[in-house]
Protein backbone atom coordinates (compact mmCIF):
# COMPACT_ATOMS: atom_id res chain seq x y z
CA UNK A 1 0.00 0.00 0.00
CA UNK A 2 1.34 3.42 -0.93
CA UNK A 3 1.80 5.75 2.03
CA UNK A 4 0.34 9.21 1.55
CA UNK A 5 2.32 12.43 2.08
CA UNK A 6 0.18 13.11 5.16
CA UNK A 7 1.16 9.78 6.65
CA UNK A 8 4.81 10.57 5.98
CA UNK A 9 4.43 13.77 7.96
CA UNK A 10 2.87 11.93 10.88
CA UNK A 11 5.60 9.31 10.80
CA UNK A 12 8.27 12.00 10.82
CA UNK A 13 6.65 13.67 13.79
CA UNK A 14 7.18 10.49 15.81
CA UNK A 15 10.97 10.79 15.48
CA UNK A 16 12.93 12.13 18.43
CA UNK A 17 14.34 15.57 17.77
CA UNK A 18 17.47 15.04 19.85
CA UNK A 19 20.50 13.89 17.87
CA UNK A 20 22.15 12.18 20.83
CA UNK A 21 24.70 10.13 18.88
CA UNK A 22 27.97 12.07 19.04
CA UNK A 23 30.28 12.28 16.03
CA UNK A 24 33.23 9.88 15.83
CA UNK A 25 36.63 10.91 17.08
CA UNK A 26 39.41 11.50 14.56
CA UNK A 27 40.81 8.06 15.38
CA UNK A 28 37.41 6.44 14.84
CA UNK A 29 36.92 8.37 11.60
CA UNK A 30 40.14 6.90 10.20
CA UNK A 31 38.52 3.46 10.45
CA UNK A 32 35.04 4.53 9.39
CA UNK A 33 36.14 6.39 6.24
CA UNK A 34 38.80 4.07 4.90
CA UNK A 35 39.81 5.84 1.72
CA UNK A 36 42.84 8.13 1.54
CA UNK A 37 41.75 11.66 2.42
CA UNK A 38 43.43 14.86 1.27
CA UNK A 39 43.00 16.67 4.57
CA UNK A 40 44.83 15.72 7.77
CA UNK A 41 42.17 17.30 9.97
CA UNK A 42 38.87 15.48 10.37
CA UNK A 43 35.96 17.90 10.04
CA UNK A 44 32.60 16.10 9.96
CA UNK A 45 29.66 17.43 7.98
CA UNK A 46 27.69 17.85 11.20
CA UNK A 47 30.35 20.15 12.70
CA UNK A 48 30.40 22.62 9.79
CA UNK A 49 26.65 23.04 9.45
CA UNK A 50 24.38 23.60 12.42
CA UNK A 51 20.70 22.68 12.28
CA UNK A 52 18.54 25.52 10.94
CA UNK A 53 16.98 27.90 13.43
CA UNK A 54 13.98 26.31 15.13
CA UNK A 55 15.02 22.83 13.94
CA UNK A 56 16.87 19.94 15.53
CA UNK A 57 18.66 17.11 13.79
CA UNK A 58 16.66 13.90 13.87
CA UNK A 59 18.05 11.24 16.14
CA UNK A 60 20.37 8.69 14.57
CA UNK A 61 21.69 5.57 16.19
CA UNK A 62 25.45 5.49 16.57
CA UNK A 63 26.90 3.20 13.92
CA UNK A 64 23.88 3.44 11.62
CA UNK A 65 24.12 4.40 7.97
CA UNK A 66 22.48 7.74 8.71
CA UNK A 67 24.98 8.48 11.48
CA UNK A 68 27.84 7.54 9.13
CA UNK A 69 26.59 9.91 6.41
CA UNK A 70 25.94 12.74 8.85
CA UNK A 71 29.59 12.71 9.86
CA UNK A 72 31.22 12.37 6.44
CA UNK A 73 34.64 14.11 6.32
CA UNK A 74 34.79 17.42 4.48
CA UNK A 75 37.51 19.18 2.57
CA UNK A 76 38.40 22.73 3.62
CA UNK A 77 35.95 25.56 3.06
CA UNK A 78 36.27 27.05 -0.39
CA UNK A 79 37.43 23.81 -2.00
CA UNK A 80 36.15 23.50 -5.58
CA UNK A 81 34.51 20.42 -7.04
CA UNK A 82 36.96 18.72 -9.39
CA UNK A 83 36.60 16.01 -12.01
CA UNK A 84 38.47 12.72 -12.01
CA UNK A 85 41.08 14.49 -14.17
CA UNK A 86 41.49 17.34 -11.72
CA UNK A 87 39.61 19.89 -13.81
CA UNK A 88 37.57 22.40 -11.81
CA UNK A 89 33.85 21.76 -12.22
CA UNK A 90 32.42 24.14 -9.63
CA UNK A 91 34.49 26.91 -8.02
CA UNK A 92 34.63 26.88 -4.25
CA UNK A 93 32.35 29.92 -4.02
CA UNK A 94 29.71 28.64 -6.45
CA UNK A 95 26.21 29.48 -5.24
CA UNK A 96 25.07 25.85 -5.60
CA UNK A 97 27.96 24.42 -3.55
CA UNK A 98 27.87 24.02 0.24
CA UNK A 99 30.78 21.62 0.81
CA UNK A 100 32.97 18.99 -0.84
CA UNK A 101 33.24 15.55 0.75
CA UNK A 102 36.85 14.51 1.35
CA UNK A 103 36.65 11.32 -0.72
CA UNK A 104 38.59 10.29 -3.81
CA UNK A 105 36.81 9.91 -7.13
CA UNK A 106 39.19 7.53 -8.93
CA UNK A 107 41.14 8.04 -12.15
CA UNK A 108 38.45 7.01 -14.61
CA UNK A 109 35.16 8.56 -15.66
CA UNK A 110 33.16 6.04 -13.65
CA UNK A 111 32.18 7.42 -10.24
CA UNK A 112 29.29 9.57 -11.41
CA UNK A 113 25.90 10.05 -9.70
CA UNK A 114 24.56 6.52 -9.12
CA UNK A 115 28.11 5.29 -8.62
CA UNK A 116 28.69 7.84 -5.86
CA UNK A 117 25.56 6.52 -4.19
CA UNK A 118 26.89 2.94 -4.37
CA UNK A 119 30.30 4.09 -3.19
CA UNK A 120 29.05 5.52 0.09
CA UNK A 121 26.69 2.62 0.73
CA UNK A 122 29.44 0.10 0.08
CA UNK A 123 32.00 2.00 2.14
CA UNK A 124 29.56 2.03 5.04
CA UNK A 125 29.18 -1.75 4.92
CA UNK A 126 32.94 -2.21 4.77
CA UNK A 127 33.50 0.16 7.69
CA UNK A 128 30.81 -1.68 9.67
CA UNK A 129 32.64 -4.98 9.25
CA UNK A 130 29.92 -6.37 6.97
CA UNK A 131 31.31 -5.99 3.44
CA UNK A 132 29.54 -9.17 2.28
CA UNK A 133 26.24 -7.36 2.78
CA UNK A 134 27.09 -5.13 -0.18
CA UNK A 135 25.02 -6.24 -3.15
CA UNK A 136 23.75 -3.92 -5.83
CA UNK A 137 21.31 -4.31 -8.67
CA UNK A 138 23.28 -5.05 -11.78
CA UNK A 139 22.72 -4.58 -15.52
CA UNK A 140 21.96 -8.29 -15.92
CA UNK A 141 18.80 -7.89 -13.84
CA UNK A 142 20.05 -9.49 -10.63
CA UNK A 143 22.10 -8.47 -7.61
CA UNK A 144 25.81 -9.01 -7.92
CA UNK A 145 27.44 -8.72 -4.52
CA UNK A 146 30.83 -8.52 -2.92
CA UNK A 147 30.28 -12.05 -1.61
CA UNK A 148 30.38 -13.22 -5.26
CA UNK A 149 33.39 -11.07 -6.05
CA UNK A 150 35.69 -12.31 -3.30
CA UNK A 151 35.15 -15.88 -4.52
CA UNK A 152 36.35 -14.86 -7.97
CA UNK A 153 32.90 -15.04 -9.53
CA UNK A 154 31.93 -12.73 -12.39
CA UNK A 155 28.82 -12.30 -14.56
CA UNK A 156 29.00 -14.56 -17.63
CA UNK A 157 26.47 -14.74 -20.45
CA UNK A 158 25.20 -18.28 -21.09
CA UNK A 159 22.72 -18.33 -23.91
CA UNK A 160 20.00 -15.85 -23.06
CA UNK A 161 20.78 -15.62 -19.37
CA UNK A 162 23.55 -14.46 -17.11
CA UNK A 163 25.20 -16.58 -14.45
CA UNK A 164 27.90 -15.86 -11.90
CA UNK A 165 30.85 -18.14 -12.68
CA UNK A 166 34.35 -18.33 -11.22
CA UNK A 167 36.59 -16.38 -13.58
CA UNK A 168 39.19 -14.80 -11.30
CA UNK A 169 41.28 -15.45 -8.22
CA UNK A 170 39.70 -15.02 -4.81
CA UNK A 171 40.68 -11.88 -2.90
CA UNK A 172 40.08 -10.09 0.39
CA UNK A 173 40.62 -6.71 1.99
CA UNK A 174 39.93 -3.07 1.17
CA UNK A 175 41.78 -3.01 -2.19
CA UNK A 176 39.72 -6.01 -3.29
CA UNK A 177 36.57 -4.21 -2.19
CA UNK A 178 37.43 -1.09 -4.14
CA UNK A 179 38.02 -3.16 -7.28
CA UNK A 180 34.56 -4.63 -6.83
CA UNK A 181 33.01 -1.17 -6.56
CA UNK A 182 34.86 0.06 -9.66
CA UNK A 183 33.61 -2.96 -11.57
CA UNK A 184 30.05 -2.22 -10.49
CA UNK A 185 30.34 1.44 -11.51
CA UNK A 186 30.96 0.27 -15.08
CA UNK A 187 28.03 -2.17 -15.05
CA UNK A 188 25.24 -0.19 -13.43
CA UNK A 189 23.46 3.15 -13.63
CA UNK A 190 20.43 5.06 -12.44
CA UNK A 191 18.08 2.83 -14.42
CA UNK A 192 19.15 -0.18 -12.35
CA UNK A 193 19.05 1.55 -8.96
CA UNK A 194 15.44 2.51 -9.70
CA UNK A 195 14.73 -1.10 -8.74
CA UNK A 196 15.56 -0.49 -5.08
CA UNK A 197 12.65 -0.42 -2.65
CA UNK A 198 10.34 2.57 -2.45
CA UNK A 199 10.22 4.60 0.74
CA UNK A 200 6.83 3.84 2.30
CA UNK A 201 7.28 5.17 5.83
CA UNK A 202 9.29 7.77 7.67
CA UNK A 203 12.20 9.25 5.76
CA UNK A 204 15.71 8.29 6.79
CA UNK A 205 19.13 9.75 6.17
CA UNK A 206 20.47 7.71 3.27
CA UNK A 207 17.22 7.68 1.30
CA UNK A 208 17.64 8.96 -2.23
CA UNK A 209 15.68 10.64 -4.99
CA UNK A 210 16.33 8.96 -8.33
CA UNK A 211 15.34 9.38 -11.96
CA UNK A 212 16.42 6.52 -14.14
CA UNK A 213 17.48 7.16 -17.69
CA UNK A 214 20.30 8.09 -20.00
CA UNK A 215 21.05 10.47 -18.61
CA UNK A 216 19.30 10.01 -15.29
CA UNK A 217 20.27 11.42 -11.94
CA UNK A 218 20.21 10.61 -8.24
CA UNK A 219 20.78 12.67 -5.09
CA UNK A 220 21.12 11.36 -1.55
CA UNK A 221 19.91 12.75 1.78
CA UNK A 222 22.93 13.05 4.07
CA UNK A 223 21.23 14.72 7.02
CA UNK A 224 17.74 15.52 8.29
CA UNK A 225 16.32 18.05 10.74
CA UNK A 226 12.77 18.84 11.85
CA UNK A 227 10.93 21.42 13.92
CA UNK A 228 8.29 20.94 16.60
CA UNK A 229 5.55 20.95 13.96
CA UNK A 230 7.12 18.11 11.99
CA UNK A 231 8.41 20.34 9.19
CA UNK A 232 11.42 18.73 7.59
CA UNK A 233 14.68 20.00 6.13
CA UNK A 234 17.41 17.92 4.52
CA UNK A 235 21.01 18.22 3.43
CA UNK A 236 21.38 16.72 -0.04
CA UNK A 237 24.55 15.54 -1.78
CA UNK A 238 25.42 14.23 -5.22
CA UNK A 239 28.03 13.04 -7.65
CA UNK A 240 27.64 14.06 -11.28
CA UNK A 241 28.96 13.79 -14.83
CA UNK A 242 31.80 13.63 -15.60
CA UNK A 243 32.96 11.67 -12.54
CA UNK A 244 33.62 14.26 -9.88
CA UNK A 245 33.87 14.92 -6.16
CA UNK A 246 30.82 14.13 -4.08
CA UNK A 247 29.46 17.44 -2.87
CA UNK A 248 26.73 18.86 -0.66
CA UNK A 249 24.46 21.34 -2.44
CA UNK A 250 22.76 24.56 -1.48
CA UNK A 251 19.04 25.17 -1.74
CA UNK A 252 17.72 28.02 -3.91
CA UNK A 253 17.72 30.32 -0.85
CA UNK A 254 21.44 29.72 -0.31
CA UNK A 255 21.00 27.48 2.71
CA UNK A 256 22.61 24.02 2.85
CA UNK A 257 19.21 22.79 4.09
CA UNK A 258 16.45 22.03 1.59
CA UNK A 259 12.77 22.20 2.54
CA UNK A 260 11.12 18.80 2.16
CA UNK A 261 7.36 19.05 1.98
CA UNK A 262 5.74 15.62 1.53
CA UNK A 263 4.15 15.47 -1.89
CA UNK A 264 5.81 18.64 -3.17
CA UNK A 265 8.54 18.38 -5.83
CA UNK A 266 12.15 18.91 -4.80
CA UNK A 267 14.39 21.03 -7.01
CA UNK A 268 18.15 20.79 -6.78
CA UNK A 269 20.76 22.92 -8.57
CA UNK A 270 22.58 21.68 -11.69
CA UNK A 271 19.99 18.98 -12.52
CA UNK A 272 17.15 20.60 -14.47
CA UNK A 273 14.35 18.18 -13.61
CA UNK A 274 12.47 18.22 -10.35
CA UNK A 275 12.33 15.15 -8.12
CA UNK A 276 8.95 13.73 -7.10
CA UNK A 277 8.27 11.92 -3.83
CA UNK A 278 7.34 8.78 -5.72
CA UNK A 279 10.98 8.71 -6.87
CA UNK A 280 12.28 8.20 -3.33
CA UNK A 281 14.16 4.95 -2.84
CA UNK A 282 16.04 3.12 -0.08
CA UNK A 283 18.69 0.43 -0.33
CA UNK A 284 17.45 -3.03 0.57
CA UNK A 285 20.97 -4.15 1.49
Report domain extents, the chain: 5-107+190-282
Q: What is the pLDDT of residue 142?
A: 86
Are the CB atoms for 71 and 33 separated by under 8 Å? no
For the stretch 41-92, pLDDT in tens is 999 999 999 999 999 999 999 999 999 999 999 999 999 999 999 999 999 9
Residue 7 has pLDDT above 50, yes or no: no
For the stretch 259-285, pLDDT in tens is 999 889 999 999 999 999 999 999 999
Q: What is the pLDDT of residue 241?
A: 96
For the stretch 171-224, pLDDT in tens is 999 999 999 999 999 999 999 999 999 998 899 999 999 999 888 999 999 999
Grade residue 20 by pLDDT with cuts at 50, 70 and 90. low
Amino acid sequence: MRVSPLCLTVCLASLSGVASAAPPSAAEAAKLYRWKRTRAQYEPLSARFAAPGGFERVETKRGSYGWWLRHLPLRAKGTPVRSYRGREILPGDHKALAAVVDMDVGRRDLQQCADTLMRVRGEYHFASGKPRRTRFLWAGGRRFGYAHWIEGKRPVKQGRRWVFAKKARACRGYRCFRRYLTYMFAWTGTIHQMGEQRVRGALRIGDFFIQGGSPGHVVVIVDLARDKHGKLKAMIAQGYMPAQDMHVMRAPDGSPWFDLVPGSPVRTPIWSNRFEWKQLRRFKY
